[in-house]
Amino acid sequence: MRPASPRPKPAAKPGAPEKCGCGYPIDECVSAPKSSKKPKPSQEKPAHPQRKTVAASGEMMALIAQGDVKKLRAHLEESFWKGAPEQPVWDHLLEALKTGKREMVRLLVTYDARPTAQDLEALKAQAGEAYPQYLRLLRQGGLPTSLAAFEEYARQIEAGKEAAEKAASERKLREQEEAVARAAVEQSVKKAMKMQVESIPAEWRKVLFEIQSQSASEAVIAGGALRDLFNDRPVKDVDIFLKTRGSERKNRKFLKSVFNAAGLKVQEQVTHNGGYSIKRNAFPDPGTQKFKVVSGSGYGRMESETRAESWKVIAGPEKTEYNVVFMSEEFAARVNPPGSKGPGTMKGIIEAFDFGLCQIATDGESIAETPLYKKDVAEKTITLDKGNSSSKEHLQRIVKKYPDWKLDEGAKKMLAYEPPKPRRPMGIRVWY
């Protein structure tokens, strides 16, 4: 005998919600498997940043009393997406319990409607025999099933608040401690910088002060003198940079005034020694130097050179050699903006130097160093930053003073580079 075929399930009516095995619609049943639930349009909306809640309106209470879950959900979502979500409270949840609709309770619990332990005590006294049913609805809405469990739940919430307040207090205290530590570090840096400035020979600072006093506040000592002084190497000369006074004649007159005011005797230098005559001059004619300024990077990188007058002056009891460089107006404005003063204004000058180890300057009050200078000193390296036509000769002098320091790849290539020899003209035979 053939077994009877299973009776087909009756087709669901169009538009009817799909039901769980217990008879409740899947969207409303707590025990339905999550994979079988259909996401609602409200659940498919993108996440929205948290907004400040506002007090619930009377319209919400009216919708709860009517038992219309769909209209209540639409009302809550509308207020949420408008940027001022309404916050349901225990009174709304209590009204939902009276309707007996667990989907209404779940919706309100989702929007953070919660009773306190005192609210449950009052409910237990008022509800009487209906109290277990109310607890069951609260459980189905996602809240604890008993008063003891709910009290524990409330304690956890309070503990979380206390932990958050404690963390905020500790964070504030930590920020205050960090601010105090930063202030202490800044103070120690200033103190160390002051000591470093005071370690510069008094004669150098005196000459710089006199230059700045005579309407040349932009003047700075920069380059090799400070490099060698702070790294315990013999100092050859002191480079001082300032803006030109307008002409060679005015620059010479300016230097005479400066060294007279500093009370330093200027040594005469031999400017000519031939035949039967020897010529000497305290302020011989200046030489010219080239400085390269690089602006931009990549395809927008631009390089420009400017000439400057370099005056060699030998003065003081130690016969210190000062190399006073008068920069052109254009170059001075680019590396040292008019009216500026301080470590930031020296940055433009030292960043134009070819090697990182030379990128240090002082205005007599503070010290300016580039990160490349700090790196070279820390690692005892000589790094090529911006090469120019005289960089190889400059590098050879530095290597003699710092033989134990390493060269970076750019400096190695520059030192090893030999320009190609000129080719012999064709058709000319040379006998050796």
pLDDT over threshold 60, residue 103: yes
DSSP 8-state class, residue 42: G
pLDDT of 398-413, one tens digit each?
999 999 999 999 999 9
Give the pLDDT of residue 402.
94
Could you tell me which residues come within 8 angstroms of residue 305 by beta carbon, excluding any fewer than 6 positions away?
290, 291, 292, 293, 388
Q: Please report, for residues 243, 325, 376, 395, 411, the alpha-carbon distance to residue 406 in angstroms, rounded to integers and kept in the order given.
A: 35, 30, 9, 12, 9
pLDDT of 174-194, one tens digit each?
998 888 888 887 787 777 778
The CA distance from 71 to 113, in Å, is 18
Count Cβ atoms within 10 A of the Cβ of residue 124 and give its class: 0-12 exposed, 13-18 middle, 19 or more buried. Answer: middle
Give the pLDDT of residue 277.
66
Task: State the chain's mean pLDDT as an integer.
Answer: 78
pLDDT of 254-304, one tens digit each?
999 999 999 999 998 877 666 666 777 888 888 876 655 555 555 545 555
CB 138 within 8 A of CB 106: no
Give the pLDDT of residue 312.
92
Dihedral sign computed on CA atoms, order 70, 72, 76, 79: positive
Q: What is the pTM of this model?
A: 0.54
Give the pLDDT of residue 343.
47
Fold of the 202-370 domain: Beta Polymerase; domain 2 (3.30.460)
Please, where are the H alpha helices in 199-308? Answer: 202-213, 224-230, 248-262
Count Cβ atoms within 10 A of the Cβ of residue 309 and give its class: 0-12 exposed, 13-18 middle, 19 or more buried. Answer: buried
Give the pLDDT of residue 85.
82
In terms of residues, how long is the chain? 432
Q: What are the residue boundaries of the structural domains of the chain, listed by start?
A: 48-145, 202-370
Q: Mean pLDDT across the stretch 371-398?
A: 90
Neighbours of 274 (CB within 10 A): 7
Q: pLDDT: is 4 or 155 the higher one?
A: 155
Q: Mean pLDDT across the stretch 196-223?
A: 91
Could you tell me which residues come within 8 angstroms of residue 66 by beta carbon, excluding any fewer than 6 positions away?
none
Q: Please report, for residues 130, 185, 227, 301, 342, the alpha-carbon distance to residue 189 in angstroms, rounded to integers and kept in the order given.
A: 74, 6, 19, 35, 15
Give the pLDDT of residue 430.
44
Give the pLDDT of residue 202.
93
Identify each DSSP E strand in 349-393 by its residue range: 360-362, 367-369, 381-382
**Is 403 in a helix, a strand, or coil?**
coil
